[in-house]
Amino acid sequence: MSDNSKQEIERLRKQVSQQEKMASLGLLSAGIAHEIQNPLNFVINFSKLSCKLLQDMEEVLDELNDKLPADADEELREIMEDLKGNMIKIEENGNRASSVIRGILLYSRGKDDEYIPTNLCQLTKEYVWLSYHAVRANNKSFNVAIEEEYDETLQLVKVIPQDFSRAVLNLMNNACYAVFNKSKGATETPYRPTIKVSLKKDGDKACLTIEDNGSGITEEVKKKLYTPFFTTKPLGEGTGLGLSITKSIIEQKHNGTIEMESQPNEFTRFTITIPIQ
């Protein structure tokens, strides 16, 4: 057996081992997500209830307006306004956490090829920021400006949510990696890592674009871009399956297209187009 064959076998063995670990992690994540969702529901519901109680207190204060000293009434109202603001923030962030949990549960429990009318704007937003925070958790120095543009009038689109979200996650992860990689080597001119996300209606299709101003892709790499197990990342940082899986999800499961434009050290732009059904 040649050295190249041995290296290929060893690489494939590591890939299989990594996939098994990811499968186990998926089951664990689903269990944790389920356990978190219930107390999270209490947080959200009680924050709403607290806002309602504060409104009731305001009505009581209005009735007691003539019986309270002016300074006491003013101080109480300021405290209540602060509490109301805090409750609103708790509800907003609770809903954001809940949407991530729902995404994890959907991904782990979704049935194969189950097409569901989906708000693509909401789904894309969730996984754009999920990707950012995941990268940020592993690299505290990572930062990027994310510019988003969503057509909120876009109607529900039938997709396999856990698959489409995986495609978004794969492209965002690559974009984050590209800008982070470039930022580590930027020494001369000021570099502002930026990722642009756009989702709009284009005739009878939904068009998603994810563009970064990172390290770009060479002509040589473009030829192998969608080849399974091909990766330019260091060993252990990438499986080489992300783009091949994304291509399969978009073209085979959603009857769509995926296109890429890139200039080395300038930008990379992926455009996904799927029919609105």
Match 């510019």 to its residue by tokens.
147
What average pLDDT does the segment 54-76 reach?
82
Q: Is residue 145 domain-shared with residue 238, that is, in the same domain?
A: yes
Q: Is residue 131 domain-shared with residue 99, that is, in the same domain?
A: no
Alpha helices (H) along 142-237: 161-185, 219-222
Q: Is residue 264 domain-shared with residue 140, that is, in the same domain?
A: yes
Whole-model pTM: value is 0.64
Q: Is residue 177 domain-shared with residue 74, that is, in the same domain?
A: no
Q: Is residue 75 domain-shared with residue 121, that is, in the same domain?
A: no
Helix, coil or strand: residue 16 = helix
Q: What is the CATH number of the domain that holds 70?
A: 1.10.287
Q: Is residue 121 domain-shared with residue 185, that is, in the same domain?
A: yes
Range of the domain at 46: 1-109
The tally of domains found in the chain comes to 2
Give the range with max mean pLDDT: 25-34, 126-135, 216-225, 245-254: 245-254
Q: Is residue 205 domain-shared with residue 270, that is, in the same domain?
A: yes
Whole-angstrom Cα distance, residue 95 to residue 45?
10
Q: Is residue 62 domain-shared with residue 125, that is, in the same domain?
A: no
Question: Are the C-beta atoms of 176 and 135 separated by less than 8 Å?
Answer: yes
80-115 pLDDT, tens per residue? 899 988 998 888 888 777 766 766 665 555 555 688
Q: Is residue 144 domain-shared with residue 251, that is, in the same domain?
A: yes
What average pLDDT does the segment 11-17 reach?
66
Q: Which helix (H) or strand (E) holds 243?
A: helix 242-248
27-54 pLDDT, tens per residue? 666 667 767 777 888 888 888 899 889 8
Give the range with max mean pLDDT: 13-27, 98-112, 136-150: 136-150
Whole-angstrom Cα distance, residue 274 to residue 250?
7
Residues 6+ apart with CB under 8 A from 125: 148, 150
